[in-house]
Structure 1
Amino acid sequence: MSKDYEKLSENYYNTHAKKFEDSFDGFLSGFFKRYIVKQLDIPDGSRVLDVGSATGKLLTLLSEKSDFDGFGLDISSEMTKLAQATYPKFEFVTGSAMQLPFENQSFDVIVCSASFHHFPNPETFLAEVMRTLSVGGKLVIAEIRLPIFRQFYNWYLAQFSKEGDVKVYDFDELATLLEKAGFVLIKGQKHWQIQYFQAHKKA
């Protein structure tokens, strides 16, 4: 029987939402958020979606550099409730990355920070990003990089993970997924345990 990864993620993060920022997961996620902020320039007036927004901190960090309309999506209702209470200037929605609850071409930038490995069907997610991005819009992904232990770690996830983690991708595999989905890769780089991608939706 296959796992319901989204339900596992929902249950885990509902339980851990209030203590997430003080947890080891929260500590590690901070590295990804800070890396994105350093790399990404967002034009003022943009509409930005953070998929897997957790407590909403990434949008707040990004808003220190530019003025945009920010939205967050998370599978955990407890996370979105906490994010909305903490950062009321943004709009947070509970929902699935497999079926983004937004209109076509709603966003200029979609960001995914250390969440892609939770998605049970990455092709479906990328198709949804393609649908909801404006023409020429930008997708940003920062993901876990495990060049040595990745295969063992993925075996472990398949056997034992209760947090909804599906798979950690290698750099070329993730780049290929983006290109097959119709994105134009404009930046791809590796930094320690982070792999980072910026891609445009074709005009």
Structure 2
Amino acid sequence: MVRRAHNYEKESEAFYDRLADHFDDSFDGFLASFFKKFILKQLEYPQNSRLLDVGCANGRLLEMLNHKQQIEGTGLDISSNMIKIARIKHPDHKFIQGNAQSLPFENASYDVITCSASFHHFPDPDRFLEEVRRVLASGGKLVIAEIHLPVITRLYNWRLNRFSTEGDVKVYTSRELRQKFEKQGWQLLRKKIFFQIQYYEITPKAKEE
């Protein structure tokens, strides 16, 4: 496959900056809402958990999770416009503009990190997993909810490479994600596939003595 040159981070930033004012009413916001609702239904976490949402958009997932069980919520997004709107909509949470592959947080800062329909935007997902490992507290977990297209993944990725201007890097098969988690030293706690959503809860494996 001939690959088209992309600057995925710039594409993501520009696209979501344009979409920020009407994200919830957009097609992308409509699709994202299914992932957020799925995470809300599946995820269990203690009261007052320190929770970071990477790729938080306008902060809606944090607010949904806070209604279920009170959290100390932080959101990170590459789009400065999304962050501005999130701060207005959800002033009880903290929102920071930044890069998922260089998380601007101290070591062991969070008990739970969520990544809802954002993992496929990361040019260096291995670096993201390394950064999450760094900022997760002992016993913490990472939640990844991603698109699931088992039959047409290859064709879909060809289309993304040739035509997408939204910063989409690659849609992963379930097998690819499991292999990546294993290779990077993560333990699978929970997996669930529901139609076009694949959901994972993972935690860093204990280091061998």
Give the % identical residues: 54
Residue pair 1:51, 1:112 contacting (<8 A) in 2 also: yes
Residue 115 (str. 1) matches residue 118 (str. 2): yes
Matched residues in 1 for 2:10 and 2:28: separation?
19
Residue 203 of structure 2 corresponds to residue 200 of structure 1: yes
Letter in 2 for 1:43: P
Task: Specify the alignment match of 1:139 in structure 2.
Answer: 142
Structure 1: 5+ residue stretches without partners:
none
Amino acid at match of 1:170: T
CA distance in 2, matches of 1:178, 1:68: 26
Give the TM-score normalised by structure 2.
0.95
TM value normalised by structure 1? 0.98
Counterpart of 1:2? 5
Question: In the TM superposition, what is the alpha-carbon distance from 1:64 to its structure 2 partner?
Answer: 1.2
2:66 counterpart letter in structure 1: S
Pairwise CA distance, 1:201: 2.3
Distance 2:182 2:53 in 1: 21
- 1:87-114 CA-to-partner distances (Å, cap 9, x unmatched) read 0000000000010000111100000000
**Given that residues 54 and 80 in structure 1 are in contact (C-alpha distance below 8 angstroms), is that contact kept between their aligned partners in structure 2?**
yes
1:14 partnered with 2:17: yes
> Is 1:91 paired with 2:78?
no
Tell me if structure 2 keeps the 8 A contact 1:99–1:128.
yes
Residues 65 and 71 of structure 2 are in contact (CA less than 8 Å); yes or no, is this contact kept in structure 1?
no
1:32 aligned to which of 23, 30, 35: 35
CA RMSD of aligned residues (A): 1.0
The one-letter amino acid paired with 2:65 is: L
Quote the Cα distance in structure 2 between the aligned partners of 1:24 and 1:190: 22
Whole-angstrom CA distance in 2 between matches of 1:171 and 1:188: 10
Displacement over 3 Å in runs of 4+: none
